[in-house]
Amino acid sequence: MFIFGFQPKSLEFLEKLIFIIFIVSQQLL
């Protein structure tokens, strides 16, 4: 599965990063 040229592991890391940012933003609000 290739999206925007990302390999599966890179995509998984990106999803985790976005998830962490989402949690932090919710706590700041």
pTM of the model: 0.53
Q: Where are the domains of the chain?
A: 1-29
Torsion of CA 21, 24, 28, 29, to 10 degrees: 70
Nearest 5 degrees, angle CA 2-CA 15-CA 6?
25
From first to last of its 29 residues, the chain has per-residue pLDDT tens of 455 555 667 778 888 999 999 999 999 87
